[in-house]
Structure 1
Amino acid sequence: MKPGNRHLCTVLILADLRQLFRVWEMREFMDINKPLSFLTSGFFTL
């Protein structure tokens, strides 16, 4: 694996973790849309 690829993978993982934390923070006032937000976050991790 090239160093550049590893760096890109790390950036993608960090961005994904930030997205997960944002979904976790918005969980309280998005209770109605919880299944939708869960599917959306799952879609972005594919």
Structure 2
Amino acid sequence: MAGGRAAGLRTIWVDRGSWPSVDDQADYAVADVLQAMEILPTST
């Protein structure tokens, strides 16, 4: 998460039962990759 944030990117955490440290909070937390895909922008 920290690397993405340092690069100016928004981050998504796919929650598999553990969470990174408080310093590594994501912009979004999802249960699976399908939910993450709903957040990602699509190009046309």
After TM superposition, the score normalised by the length of structure 1 is 0.23
Higher helix share: 1
Higher strand share: 2
Q: Give the number of the structure whose alpha-carbon radius of gyration is greater.
A: 1
